[in-house]
Amino acid sequence: MVQKVNSKRKKKSYVPLYFLLIMILIAGLLVAIYFKNEYSEIIEIKSDITKVNNLTDKDETIDTTFLKAILPDADSGVQVINISRSTNLPEFEYDEDAGKYIRRVYSGRRINIAVTGVDARLGDRYRHADANHIISILPDNGKIEIISIPRDTPADAGYDDTTGQNKLTIVRAAKGRRAYFEELCRIGEVDKIHYFAELGFSQAMGIIEWLGYEKPSQTLQILRSRSALGGDDFQRVYNQGQFIRQMLFRNFSRLDGMMGDIFIGSGLMLVESDLTSSKIKEIIQLLKANGFDSSPDNITVKIRPSFPAKFKLYDFTDEGTVKSLSIVVKNYYTEKSDNDDDGNVESSSDNSEKVFSRLTNVLSKAETDSSSSPQKVINNLSTFFEQRAWLQIEDKEKRLEVRDRFVELMTKAYEKRKDTLSANKVRGVAIAEDNLLYQKKMQTNNNQ
């Protein structure tokens, strides 16, 4: 009899504990529902996605031992958006949707173009993916989605997890382009990459200058800045996505007609891409026919993986905004001695003379080799040429002088080896640049 009474007392003592656990579970469920409703939105429309032609693999063989030696062991990925230390930021709005999980599945075709900014040191061949974007075009709907992915996003780079090297930025360098595209698709939640455009620091400077920015090195440093403007990788990649968005919409009308043909053809010569002029013009006509240019809302920026935060939205088409941001970045790094997190030494306009000096020395050595070994000339100059390294030289006369020396030495070297096709490609790069300069001059005259 005594044993039964004790048993009942024990059961009663557990009742408050059960009640407490149930309340905790209910509270957790309510919090989860709140965050899901606050930061997630799924919009599904009947889909009929048409796949485009397959991508050919152009992967390179990479020395991963070298990469392990030069890359840091720590993972620099961030989890929060930091508030900028500066009180001198220009006016900006907030974008509360870019980081939300909003899935829109449209009917019609979807064409995905990978746009990658590679952070390769001047003269080095390895390619470290510093800027990662997918321009996802819905031509039948007249819309474009820019999917922007932070470079330190976890990805399979083939290393042991303890090394901290399994990040998207490392995949491009360690495993090549095809593996990089696979990870880009997985993170960006698209089925495949149909085309790509890849450009380095010098090429980006050339394109930014053509777009009308008088100091392209400063503009590029704004877009590469991780710490100066707050937000780390997430705000930085959002800034890049917004820059692409604003430039695409502002210059869309310039892609039409004869001048548009010149721009498209010349622009393709400045980057590495498997896109053709005819394909780009076809996409432009479809977008135009479906009202893309009627509203800037037809082009949006999404951050993947989704990250619920308010992103600062700057107007990069406004000269005053860009100037103010440039001052903020410059002041930040004047106070901070270590600026490794924002790229290599070539990111500063003050480095222009150093680039000129280095390229002049490289060319002088190639001139010495030109009479005896054309292949040596090609080997020593080709990486600099592919990077369009002269575009980092701010003095336009010096820049043209260096470029023309590259063209002369390389075309002669290829012709000595009876490689006419490669010689013509080298000449084509110079012609493309001249066409872009001419078009920019005409545009400036028309605006006056």
Please name the amino acid found at residue 108.
G
* Strand-pair category, 101-105 with 40-44: parallel
**The pLDDT of residue 31 is above 50:** no
Residue 285 backbone phi and psi in degrees, to 5: -65, -40
Residues with Cβ within 8 Å of 153's Cβ and at least 6 positions away in sequence, in order, are 77, 132, 167, 168, 187, 305
Confidence of residue 400 (pLDDT cuts 50, 70, 90): very high
Confidence of residue 437 (pLDDT cuts 50, 70, 90): confident
Q: State the Cα angle at 160 between 156 and 162, rounded to 5°.
A: 115
**What does the alpha-carbon distance between residue 106 and residue 326 come to, in Å, rounded to a whole number?**
39
Residues with Cβ within 8 Å of 319's Cβ and at least 6 positions away in sequence, in order, are none
Tokens of 351: 């480095």
List pLDDT tens digits, range 260-290.
888 898 889 889 999 999 999 999 999 999 9
For 177, half-sphere exposure in the C-beta direction (CA atoms, 13 angstrom radius) is 20
> pLDDT at position 198, please?
95
Mean pLDDT over 49-76 rounds to 40
Mean pLDDT (the chain) is 80
Distances (CA, A) of 195 to 61, 151, 158, 181, 319: 21, 20, 24, 10, 32
The residue ranges of every structural domain in the chain are 64-346, 348-447
- Topology, domain 64-346: Aminopeptidase (3.40.630)
List pLDDT tens digits, range 117-160.
998 778 887 778 999 999 999 999 999 999 999 999 999 998 98
Q: In residues, how long is the chain?
A: 448
**Which of 36-50, 93-107, 129-143 tops mean pLDDT?**
129-143
